[in-house]
Structure 1
């Protein structure tokens, strides 16, 4: 994968996570693949998310690329924290680092998040 494609991929992955941080699920939906959007409208996509967890993106990194399939993997490092702590223990723990490995597909000159159907 050339540097330009990698930069565009990481930029789109980061922008999608920033939308998720802001709970802007309509914008996050626009990063999903055209095939996904044909099947799942925005309102249905929004229902996938919980309002009980807050995310803070700490970084994205390139993982792998399969040129034949035009599929890449990106890891998003995120701090996750419950909105409402249900115990003293959860309050003491606070934000927890999480690493999400996501699949992105390259279709018609653009990278799209390959959401699970």
Structure 2
């Protein structure tokens, strides 16, 4: 094969790779959308079942930890939201899940909703 033919093949394969990556991103976004719809319906169902029952919100628990036990919320946020995770959020379009070192990070609409640490 000549240099020109190799260069042409390389260009073609790069275009195909870019198209494949775009398909993967689109599929991930579609899956994320369906997962959001399912979660919303699950929450609606749970709310309908529990109408009139008093619960303690996660927000109330966090505020107790922050004020009574002096948990530094900003420090905790910076431990979770590293530059690497911010970059991955951009790649995923703000919604999705991925592994970062010892933890799995899940996000929805550019909000980190879950961090699962792998304690070995």
Q: TM-score band, normalised by the shorter chain?
A: under 0.3
Of Structure 1 and Structure 2, the greater strand share is in 1
Which fold has the larger relative contact order, with Cα–Cα distance below 8 Å and residues 6 or more apart in sequence?
1
For normalisation by structure 1, the TM-score amounts to: 0.26
Larger helix proportion, structure 1 or 2? 2
Who wins on radius of gyration, i.e. which is larger?
Answer: 2
